[in-house]
Structure 1
Amino acid sequence: MAGASAQAAPDLARANEGAEQDGRPPRLPQPSRVVPLGVYGKQLVFLDRLQQIVMEPPRGCSKGELALWFGDDYLIEYFPSYPKGWKPGDDDPEDFHQGKAQMALIDDCRAKGIFKPEGKVFGRGAHRPRHDEEAMVLHIGNRVLLANMPDARGRRSADIVQHPAGMVRIGGKETFYPADDGLPPPADKPATAAEAAEVRALFEKWSWAEPAAAPLLLFGWLGQAFICGWLEWRAHAWLPGPTASGKSSLQKIIRALLGEWVLSTADASEAAIRQILRNDTLPVSIDEAEPHDNPERVQAVMNLMKKASSGDRILRGGADHKGTEFTAQSCFLLSSVMHATLRGEDRNRIALLDMKKLPDNPEPLELELAKWRSTGRRLHRRMIGGIGRFDRTLGCYKRAIGAQGYEGRWQDTYGTLLACADLLLYDYAPDAGFDEAVETDEPGMRRVHEAVMAILPMMAKGRVEARTDTERVSRVLLSHALPGAHGSPPEPVGTWIERALTWVELDASTGGDSGPDFKARAKLKTYGLRVVQLVDDAERATGYRIEDARTGDDGWKHDFLAVAYPTNKGINEIFARGDWMGDGYLQSLRKLDGTKGPFKVRFGGRQPDNALLVPLAALSGDEG
């Protein structure tokens, strides 16, 4: 960035000079070192002399804090405090009048009106201006860099426009990028395609379960990390691998490439990550994220990751009984021996890049962290230079993934990773030359096809593993073990249903009648489950009456499993914990095609329970 052409920034310290507020001139003498922004609830909101956003109640304006925000020389000059007996000609005062300075600040903030920080205050990292989706704002702590901005003729400028941190007017709208701890700026010259290819080749030195896909996707995650706050969708990656697979050394290299642009930790809670990031849009790297160490903590982090993919708002209460808003716009990289259990909605947001144990006596790997830190800054510059073609490149990859039958979040996650890798590896969009005069020997759309074919086995595996909540609740129900009779070992509900639909031929010498396995049916009833059929009955309000299910194929094809509501003690034992506590299991089972109800069903005794009728056919599936 040092070599980029810069434009003079406005003097933000004099932003309010001469402006009248509430029909009168400001009470703070101009130029003021503090810029009042307004009032939010009982708090004053303003930019202090260091261009930090301050939210403070009026009673908090102590003498020391006023000196911190303004500088005591300003306050002594404009709000002097004269000692008793002072007269003109005596030495200048060396103190200031706290009350007068405090009231001037309060009055000027009040005159500005209400200032709500949400949507106006942005932390460090990359951001996408709302008025111009192709431009980028890069907040590096003490400065704000504007990239890919249009000039007076609407053409995208290659120059980087620089502003000091604080108030920045973009597209005629005031936005605030408060000063913070400085981050190293991207290099003044971008990396070459050859340097990018060198980093990708470096990732290939590890042993991967999917050697054609994993290094490319990890490289795409690296490119994404530089600009994750600017993206509309963020993909996450998890590196599960056995001991001695090189996870920690790989994380070290990635952290060196990202430098201070990553929040890295070996153990952090979801709350700690939120509180450290605040409004920052920086990537997060978590090593040794073992799910068995603290499952609740890992699950909370995964929920944060899910929100971060789309940049959802998160509301949390505080100790002062006031809500705080947090917008998660980070991408996450986790590594561990085993990954956490992934729900269907997690599986298509997280690329699982399985690592294998390195061979015995591997060739020593020189980490060269200093080299990769320098390379990382140039890669950062290269990513910024490529954002003008990102949306076009992303569209190429999403269409190619969609052509293989993958929709929605699969396109978003894997398309984003591949598009970010493309921005680093190539100089032109994949479809360059189709509608413009571009001469290039790059592989074009062929590289898109080859990349998608490389990751196809990984996506296929992910789709098989990405069970919906209805599939998962069915598995929990059918696999729950019910105790056997007379000391027999426990057997799963699915086995008891199979028996309940089986015709039992009894020996005539015993005096019993042949028929369904009544013992199995009785066992299911004690747990709020019953195999039933619906028989048309015009005299009933529902149009049906409940009878016991048929056996064999007729029962499996046409009849139902009645599942009691949570008022039934037996069903609560099956769904005593996990995602389906309370009535959660009913919400998921209702989504199964053909589910009916509620109906009144008798499971034992004379009093019926409310129950859903789930088609037995929906609970049986094919192997393979």
Structure 2
Amino acid sequence: MNEQDGKSGAGRVGGLISAAQQRAKLEAKRRDAVYPLPGQPWNGVPPGEWPEKGELDDTGYLPKDCPVRPLGYEGEAFYFVDTMGQVFNSAANGQLGVERLQKLFAGHEDFLYWAWPAKEPKKMAADPGFKSERVRRDLFSACRARGAWSMSDTVRGRGAWRDDQGGLMIHCGDAMWIDGQLDDTGEYDGYFYPRRPSSFVPWPEQVTQDDNPATELFEILRTWHFARGDVDAMFLVGWLGVAMLGGALDWRPSLFMVGDAGTGKSELFGKNGLIRSVLGKMMVATTNASEAGLYQLVGHDSVPIAIDELEGEDGQDQAQKVIKMARDAASGSVRIRGGQNHKGVEFQAQSSFAFSGINPPPIPPANLTRLVIVEMMPLKVTSNKAPTLSAAETVGPRLLRILADGWSDLEYKLDQYYAVLREAGHNSRGQKTYGTFLALAHTLIGDDGLKALGMPSEQGGDLHKWGEWLKAEAMPELEGAGETWRQAIDYILTSEIDAYTGGAKKTVAQVIDDLKLGRTASEFGDSQTSALQNTRDRLALADLGLYGDVRSGLTLAVPNSSKKIGRALLDTPFGDRGGNGSWKWALRRAPPHIVSKTIDDGSGRQDNRVTIAGRQVRCLFIDLKAYGALG
């Protein structure tokens, strides 16, 4: 072992000792209060006489230092922080009897005997009890004093969050990490952080570049065979940063690992895989998950979610719902689901997802823009044993500390990568998705680490290389993710006309192409004029009109409402069986030289009503020549 390794090892041992000391200090702070024996005074106040002595909390209805704290009310539900640091709901089973009050004050029942004694003090020692109706009265009044309260708006579970000043605070399950120190869970800046099963906490000391595990992690990732090589390895490191910071980020893109058996997916994201060894209990890992199951499992947490075997050959609806959940989680949009007593439940997913599968389900373009696809190729190595990280149990805490220390500079790094990707042709969505991964990977690895790995760095002045490697038109994730009006036109042109021509059905584009190339005239032995009319007749079967001619340019008339078009587009985002699909709204957003709202009716007057298939309908008009010129 060289001198540097010895220093690193000693530093890690010191870090583990320091973390244990912080935990012990917090536990001492939480140590159960010593309450009096039944019937005895406490801090000079006789049992039950705290109201007269003015020993009141800030609501004016509970004793000072009461181990149960009121949060507020919502309808008939009254919410409290119980003695375990969790949210306690009075309406969970419709009553707050003696047993539930004992659960609410679990471990502190002597406080009930002192604050609300059921008998004279001298009788309490032999047979203690408390007046439950008085406890309920004071608890409910205290909640009323606190005001209206909702779990969906104010509860934050495990994960990273922003405080009111934009600073970083991390809910580690059984403790809060704020400004480098561990503190108890509870209320901060109007949010409640309930006590949850413990996760790891940031490393208690700053991590030096020599002891930064991200560089070793990147080198290990290079032993896999990714289609984009180091680019995909960078995305994976960046995903770890997104996974750890979760709810503190404005944008949480996800990953989808695609590869055949034998490409190392399990060794990377499996139960005993590399990523699980980094994230440990922070990550929720499952297979064949449902949206409802994930909602129940994650709740208010902002923790990374890894779902293996999300395949396309079965469970399509279920898979699409989970992918939609990841899409919503990217921006943290509120989702409303049915709850008990016919009351909607708000759920704000703020996790980053990592999917893996051999045959992924079809992913709509809108969802793809929030994902990075990492294609895994057959492994080049001969060993079946995946490489492991040294001191793996400390890797996650050290990486989390690096992210916490780099939080103040993250906005600057994001802007840097957004600018590089903007120059490479990415829209705002592409900038946010790829840029977030790159900025967080940069934060984790550090500029010196990137240089040592031979990757673009700020010091090297070559961050522009990312723009060369990630040009928008070359990204498979962005295929078909253009403007919605383009998508609508393409879907209309590629829709199939429900009539046979030459023994086969043709699409709208094929019928128009036949006219342009003269195939319609030669096929029927007719004049060009008859060929144009024949094409119009065929398009009328699809409820579409055609105006102009091949020489001057053709214009396709698309009705604003049509059952035939709605059925033809059913498998697209624009279809509707009743004929009121959204294609008209998409087309109206096209440039006016591509799609116009009126056409010359032949008399020099502009109108949006034309005759198609024997009926007059209001239409939008696609200039096919202008659209084709877009390439």
Cα 1:484–1:213, aligned 2, differ >3 Å: closer, same or farther?
same
Cα 1:621–1:262, aligned 2, differ >3 Å: closer, same or farther?
farther
Residues in 1 aligned to 2:517 and 2:386: alpha-carbon distance in whole angstroms: 66
Q: Which residue of 2 aligns with 1:541?
A: none
Structure with more of its chain in helix, by fraction = 2
Deviates more, 1:196-205 or 1:36-45: 36-45
Does the 8 Å CA contact 2:597/2:621 hold for their aligned counterparts?
A: yes
- SS of residue paired to 1:38: strand
Does the 8 Å CA contact 1:349/1:409 hold for their aligned counterparts?
A: yes
Which of 222, 230, 233 is the aligned partner of 2:251? 233
Residues in 2 aligned to 1:424 and 1:511: alpha-carbon distance in whole angstroms: 70
Q: CA deviation at 1:76?
A: 3.0
Does the 8 Å CA contact 1:347/1:465 hold for their aligned counterparts?
A: no
Deviates more, 1:514-523 or 1:268-277: 514-523
Residues in 2 aligned to 1:310 and 1:20: alpha-carbon distance in whole angstroms: 39
Letter in 2 for 1:283: P
Q: CA deviation at 1:69?
A: 0.4
- SS of residue paired to 2:354: strand
Within a 5 Å distance, the mapping from 1:323-402 to structure 2 comes to 323-359=344-380, 362-368=382-388, 371-402=391-422
Which of 524, 528, 538 is the aligned partner of 1:523? 538
Q: CA deviation at 1:331?
A: 1.2
Q: CA deviation at 1:213?
A: 0.7
Within a 5 Å distance, the mapping from 1:101-112 to structure 2 comes to 101-112=135-146
Does the 8 Å CA contact 2:220/2:387 hold for their aligned counterparts?
A: no
Q: CA deviation at 1:243?
A: 2.3
Letter in 2 for 1:448: L
Cα 1:428–1:328, aligned 2, differ >3 Å: closer, same or farther?
farther
Q: Which residue of 2 aligns with 1:615?
A: 623
Q: CA deviation at 1:463?
A: 4.3
Within a 5 Å distance, the mapping from 1:344-493 to structure 2 comes to 344-359=365-380, 362-368=382-388, 371-426=391-446, 444-446=459-461, 448-456=463-471, 460-485=475-500, 488-493=503-508
Does the 8 Å CA contact 1:137/1:146 hold for their aligned counterparts?
A: yes
Within a 5 Å distance, the mapping from 1:215-294 to structure 2 comes to 215-251=233-269, 252-294=273-315
Q: CA deviation at 1:198?
A: 1.0
Q: CA deviation at 1:52?
A: 1.0
Where has structure 1 moved over 6 Å in runs of 4 or more? Answer: 4-14, 427-431, 502-507, 509-513
Cα 1:375–1:313, aligned 2, differ >3 Å: closer, same or farther?
same
Q: Across the two proteins, how many residue pairs are aligned to each other?
A: 564
- SS of residue paired to 2:356: strand
Which of 559, 563, 581 is the aligned partner of 2:558? 563
Cα 1:206–1:366, aligned 2, differ >3 Å: closer, same or farther?
closer
Q: Which residue of 1 aligns with 2:611?
A: 602
Which of 205, 223, 232 is the aligned partner of 1:214? 232
Q: CA deviation at 1:262?
A: 1.1
Q: CA deviation at 1:165?
A: 1.1
Q: CA deviation at 1:510?
A: 8.9
Does the 8 Å CA contact 1:564/1:609 hold for their aligned counterparts?
A: yes
Letter in 2 for 1:65: R
Does the 8 Å CA contact 1:200/1:216 hold for their aligned counterparts?
A: yes
Deviates more, 1:298-307 or 1:217-226: 298-307
Does the 8 Å CA contact 1:396/1:430 hold for their aligned counterparts?
A: no
Cα 1:18–1:116, aligned 2, differ >3 Å: closer, same or farther?
farther
Does the 8 Å CA contact 1:527/1:569 hold for their aligned counterparts?
A: no
Does the 8 Å CA contact 2:332/2:350 hold for their aligned counterparts?
A: yes
- SS of residue paired to 1:265: strand
Letter in 2 for 1:99: E
Does the 8 Å CA contact 1:228/1:283 hold for their aligned counterparts?
A: yes
Deviates more, 1:453-462 or 1:268-277: 453-462
Residues in 2 aligned to 1:373 and 1:235: alpha-carbon distance in whole angstroms: 26
Q: CA deviation at 1:123?
A: 1.0
Q: CA deviation at 1:244?
A: 1.6
Does the 8 Å CA contact 2:118/2:129 hold for their aligned counterparts?
A: yes
Letter in 2 for 1:30: K
Residues in 1 aligned to 2:80 and 2:299: alpha-carbon distance in whole angstroms: 18
Which of 61, 73, 79 is the aligned partner of 2:96? 61
1:578 and 2:572 matched = yes
Task: List runs of 5+ in structure 2 lacking aligned partners.
Answer: 1-14, 34-50, 452-456, 599-607
Letter in 2 for 1:303: K
- SS of residue paired to 1:60: coil
Q: Which residue of 2 aligns with 1:153?
A: none
Superposed CA deviations along residues 362-383 of structure 1, whole A, max 9, x for unmatched, are 2333454784343223222222
- SS of residue paired to 2:619: strand
Q: CA deviation at 1:506?
A: 7.1
1:185 and 2:219 matched = no
Does the 8 Å CA contact 1:311/1:328 hold for their aligned counterparts?
A: yes
Residues in 2 aligned to 1:577 and 1:32: alpha-carbon distance in whole angstroms: 60
Q: CA deviation at 1:387?
A: 1.7
Q: CA deviation at 1:513?
A: 8.7
Residues in 2 aligned to 1:287 and 1:615: alpha-carbon distance in whole angstroms: 46
Cα 1:397–1:459, aligned 2, differ >3 Å: closer, same or farther?
farther
Does the 8 Å CA contact 2:251/2:433 hold for their aligned counterparts?
A: yes
Q: CA deviation at 1:47?
A: 0.9
Deviates more, 1:64-73 or 1:463-472: 463-472
Letter in 2 for 1:76: Y
- SS of residue paired to 1:291: coil
Q: Which residue of 2 aligns with 1:166?
A: 186
Letter in 1 for 2:575: M
Q: Which residue of 2 aligns with 1:152?
A: none
Which of 580, 585, 588 is the aligned partner of 2:586? 588
Residues in 2 aligned to 1:510 and 1:339: alpha-carbon distance in whole angstroms: 48
- SS of residue paired to 1:95: coil
Deviates more, 1:421-430 or 1:321-330: 421-430
- SS of residue paired to 1:33: coil
Deviates more, 1:211-220 or 1:315-324: 315-324
Does the 8 Å CA contact 1:501/1:555 hold for their aligned counterparts?
A: no
Cα 1:313–1:618, aligned 2, differ >3 Å: closer, same or farther?
farther
Task: List runs of 5+ in structure 1 lacking aligned partners.
Answer: 148-159, 432-441, 533-548
Residues in 2 aligned to 1:497 and 1:458: alpha-carbon distance in whole angstroms: 27
Does the 8 Å CA contact 1:504/1:517 hold for their aligned counterparts?
A: no
Cα 1:248–1:118, aligned 2, differ >3 Å: closer, same or farther?
same
Within a 5 Å distance, the mapping from 1:60-79 to structure 2 comes to 60-71=95-106, 72-79=109-116
Does the 8 Å CA contact 2:421/2:470 hold for their aligned counterparts?
A: no
Letter in 2 for 1:79: W
Cα 1:370–1:296, aligned 2, differ >3 Å: closer, same or farther?
farther
1:95 and 2:144 matched = no
Q: CA deviation at 1:325?
A: 2.1
Within a 5 Å distance, the mapping from 1:74-85 to structure 2 comes to 74-82=111-119
Percent of matched pairs sharing the same residue: 24
Residues in 2 aligned to 1:90 and 1:233: alpha-carbon distance in whole angstroms: 58
